[in-house]
Amino acid sequence: MRVAVIGAGMSGILAAIKLRERGDEVVVHEKAATLGGTWRDNTYPGLSCDVPSHVYAYSFELKGDWTKRFSPGAEIQAYFEGVARRYGVTDVIRFNSEVVRAVHEGGRWRLHTKDGRDDTADAVIAATGVLHVPAYPDIAGLEDFGGACFHSARWDHSVPLDGRRIGVIGTGSTAIQIVPALADRAKELVLFQRTAQWVLPLANPAYSEDEKAMYLRSPEALRQSYDFWAKRFVDTFAEAVIGNEAELAKIEAACRANLEDNVRDPELRRRLTPDYRAACKRLIMSEEFYPAMQKPGVRLVTDGIERVEAAGVRTKDGRLHALDMLVLATGFDGHAFLRPMEVVGEGGRTLAEAWSHANEAYRSVAVPGFPNFFMLVGPNSPIGNFSVIQISELQIAYIQQLLDLVRDGRCSAIAPTAAASQRFNSALREAMKGTVWVTGCRSWYLDRNGNPALWPWSFDRFRAEMRSPDLADFALL
């Protein structure tokens, strides 16, 4: 088979490796000039992963010499670059090749790229990621600001930081990493907060040279560490978010103790206290944020922003916060998925039409009416529950089993039935009622209908659902 993979981030590299192991001809279309996805795009100061290093790696390519328990972004980017080289993936990537349209016609997929080239494939795997379209705030006057202003995922490293008055808009995971990184460098650092966040105080110790040598010397010890962190993640946090009140209570107690024990000023503590349950939004993990917020040059602003002016940010209380630089740490459109690419399936129906009401997929990987078209980390993948690499590995193994039916000649194409997809998504919406994500907060997890685009069940169920396809749910064409 000839399979086109769209995207050369973590999932795209994984797909290329696994497809090539089966003997498929693979081409990877990457819109940028280099691979890496989110770890290529995000280079802001303080960037690190919130999943333990030993489990944030391909299970077949563990890394023993991570520098810290939670890896810095540049180290993760270097890891993916190295894996892509070792497995020959770099050789099959077409860089600067943004797919703008994919059409199923004549039993194959025809891809059209932004630079005017065409490609043809028997199957398509979209590995476009979830957090790749920056979300810009709707604030009047942003274009009027006189200093440097950019999104955190488009960091301009030519802009000096030391001794500057820096404003940061947003209080998600990105902002909570940026603030400690800049607190000692900026003359003044102003954090504009719309919503307070719960912060879990997870330590991020460096691995000693002896520890790294031990993991490099002993694949068994490295595998044990991988299994330990994976199990700990699944048994605690992943259970808490789907209705395990005992586990959620432990997380809430740890977050509250972190706030009460480490923020001395009662008024600042009050303003940093959320009014929703822990983990309703994506949980923040940091030991450095609260200390940084109490440094002399750091200010928290909770008044709403009226507008941005040439000299700074004016809040609704009338005050102008004079700034030299403004960082928009406002996250991403977590529901863009393949957009803005146009995907046209059977009968000329587009994916945009299929998703006009909501982004829905069968078991997160396929959509009725789009034969031989699959997604990694598609709608309702458990990105808020587990390591995204574990998710992708289970999904590609599932997709491979579907492609095997085509490879073996049992069919020329395969897609889920509409009835099966409807059953799955109805059960998913019902189960979502028992999760923490619907307990009363606004988050990027929620789609335009207010439904969390996540996985409401256990890791064991996800693994079971990905173990083997139920062919009764598919149309073999």
φ, ψ at 331 (rounded to 5°): 75, -155
Instruction: Dump pLDDT digits (tens) for 198-210.
Output: 999 989 999 999 9
Could you tell me if 171 and 330 are in contact, meaning their C-beta atoms sit under 8 angstroms apart? no
Written out in words, the top-level CATH class of the domain with range 2-133+333-476 is alpha beta
- Identical fold, 2-133+333-476 and 142-198+242-328: yes
Place of tokens 């049992």: 410
Give the integer Cα–Cα distance in Å for 171 and 284: 9
CA distance 16 to 369: 24
7 phi-psi bin (left φ>0, alpha ψ -120 to 50, beta other) = left
Q: What is the pLDDT of residues 69-98, one digit of tens each?
A: 999 999 999 999 999 999 999 999 999 999
pLDDT at position 386 is 80
Task: Record the tokens describing residue 373, joined without a space.
Answer: 């078209």
Instruction: Give the C-alpha separation, 199 to 205, whole Å.
Output: 18
User: For residue 385, what pLDDT is reported?
Assistant: 78
Residue 131 — very low, low, confident or very high, per pLDDT cuts 50/70/90? confident
Q: What is the mean pLDDT of residues 341-361?
A: 97
Average pLDDT, the chain: 96
Domain positions in the chain are 2-133+333-476, 142-198+242-328
What value does the mean pLDDT take over residues 461-469? 96
Label residue 79 exposed, middle or buried (CB < 10 Å: 0-12, 13-18, 19+): buried
Q: What is the DSSP letter of 289?
A: H
pLDDT at 224 over 90: yes
| pLDDT average, residue stretch 108-123 | 97
Across the range 207-222, mean pLDDT stands at 97
Would the pLDDT of 430 be above 90? yes
pLDDT at 384 over 90: no
Contact 78, 6 (CB under 8 A): no
DSSP state of 330: -
Q: What percent of the chain has pLDDT over 90?
A: 97
Q: Is the pLDDT of residue 345 over 90?
A: yes
Angle between helices 10-21 and 73-86 (to 10 degrees): 20
**pLDDT digits 0-9 by tens, 173-193:** 999 999 999 999 999 999 999
**Cβ atoms of residues 352 and 103 within 8 Å:** no
Residue 48 reports pLDDT greater than 90 = yes
**Residue in the block written with tokens 């993640």:** 233
Give residue 168's pLDDT: 98
pLDDT at 396 over 90: yes
Query: Is the separation of the CB atoms in 201 and 256 below 8 Å?
Result: no
Residue 362 in tokens: 């069968």
Mean pLDDT of 359-382: 97
* Mean local confidence (pLDDT), 33-40: 97
Q: Is the pLDDT of residue 256 over 90?
A: yes
Q: How do residues 277-308 score in pLDDT, each as one tens digit?
A: 999 999 999 999 999 999 999 999 999 999 99
Cα–Cα distance, 109 to 126 (Å, whole number): 12
> What is the predicted pLDDT for the residue at 334?
87
What is the pLDDT, as a whole number, of residue 139?
Answer: 97
Instruction: Give the pLDDT score at 460.
Output: 92
**Res 177: pLDDT:** 97
pLDDT at residue 336 greater than cutoff 90? no
**CATH superfamily name and code, 142-198+242-328:** FAD/NAD(P)-binding domain (3.50.50.60)
- DSSP code, position 282: P
